[in-house]
Amino acid sequence: MKHWLKHRTMVLSFALVVTALAFGTVIVGFTTSDPDYFFKINKSIDIFGRVYREVTMNYVDEVDPEKFMEAGIDGLLGTLDPYTNFINEKEGDEVELITVGKYGGIGVTIGLREGYITILTLMEGYSAQRQGLQPGDRILEIDGKPIVGMKPENVRGMTRGEPGTEVHLKIDREGEPKPNEFVLVREEIQLKNITYADFIKDGIAYIRLERFSRNAGDELRLAIKDLKLRGAIKGLILDLRDNPGGLLDVAVDVVEKFAPKGSLVVSTRGRKPELEKKYFVIEEPMLPDVPLAVLVNRGSASASEIVAGAIQDLDRGIIVGTRTFGKGLVQTITPLVYNTQLKITTAKYYTPSGRCIQEIDYMHKNKDGIFSTTPDSLKHKFKTLKGRLEYEAGGI
């Protein structure tokens, strides 16, 4: 009986949270003219709660109520964009990683390659690198559990955890006849935003910025100061290749090191136009006149695109490389109950010229189930500060 009451309390608590979130969204960003909108919200919550209760109580086999609830939430959020996610209590370190760049792990970055979870890079000095793992290794099992077919975000949660604990990996490596097994120890990993800063020739400085966690602006400030102490900076290369982004205000802080005080860096717009926010340079730049080149590629996304877009639109420097990823969506992390959180897309961001660089329209699919993109012929034209022509909806 107590177990049933606990389940019922979870359903009711979830319903109350969803109701609060839904009504909060309506108050802040309500744009629909449908008079039955509130009724549809309450009706849907009631149906969802009843289905959950009936299945957890009466399904032929016992159902884990928490996993079942998360599956339902993932199903709901799966109809939106891939950046709107439910973060359970065990995944809380993801938030810490985004904000402060610190977590307990083995020192690898992973991704999906040809259907396999693959190690993309190794962080020097940590367990994975010391034990001999290599980029390109395919992870087959973690702690005896097969992971083939799993999403990278779910696998990351399995490799991370309390520093000092062990994790067992089964690895498939090209050219070797059978899988290898590794025993790694999780460590507290402090990610550096700037991984390289030095002169490469004749006063030309090079800075590699790999992410935008909370300290990125401070690290950039110290790197520039250190370079100035060592010699005159005649030109700077800022490398944002494969930088997946991070915090929006940190991206603004990075632009502030180069752009004139008072310059518009980025603006964000949600469901209500009057809630538009604009972010300006509020400090004197450290390198106001030094020639600047920003390196980008298809892996440069989000905050990287804010920086590259601002530098381009303000004609402060040149962009070198290939087209960026095209993520023009802003996420907000909202605390829920029981140490859970919701990362939800709340706005789109726009470069100083007014263009949105979001490439994929996640709310619309074609007849084949493929998300739509804006054809080149329908992309609006924009101009930089000095009149150079740029286009929206396709990265930088």
State the alpha helices, DSSP H only, in the chain: 2-29, 37-58, 65-77, 93-100, 127-130, 152-159, 216-230, 248-255, 303-313
Q: What is the DSSP string of 77-137?
A: HTTS-TT-EEE-GGGTHHHHHHHH-EEEE-SEEEEEETTEEEEEEE-TTSHHHHTT--TTP
**CA-CA distance, 50 to 11, in Å (whole number)?**
9
Burial class of residue 164, CB neighbours in 10 A (0-12, 13-18, 19+) = exposed
Please state, in angstroms and rounded to a whole number, the distance separating the CA atoms of residues 53 and 343.
26
Give catalytic residues, as residue numbers: 302, 313, 327
E strands, 173-256, in order: 180-185, 187-190, 194-201, 204-209, 235-239
Residue 303: partners with Cβ closer than 8 Å, 6 or more residues away: 212, 243, 245, 246, 247, 248, 250, 251
End-to-end CA distance of the chain: 58
Q: Which residues contact 113 (CB under 8 A, 6 or more apart)?
A: 120, 138
Could you give the maximum distance between any two Cα atoms of the chain, in Å? 77
Angle at the Cα of 394 (from 74 to 251), degrees rounded to 5?
A: 75
By the 8 A CB rule, do 163 and 188 touch? yes
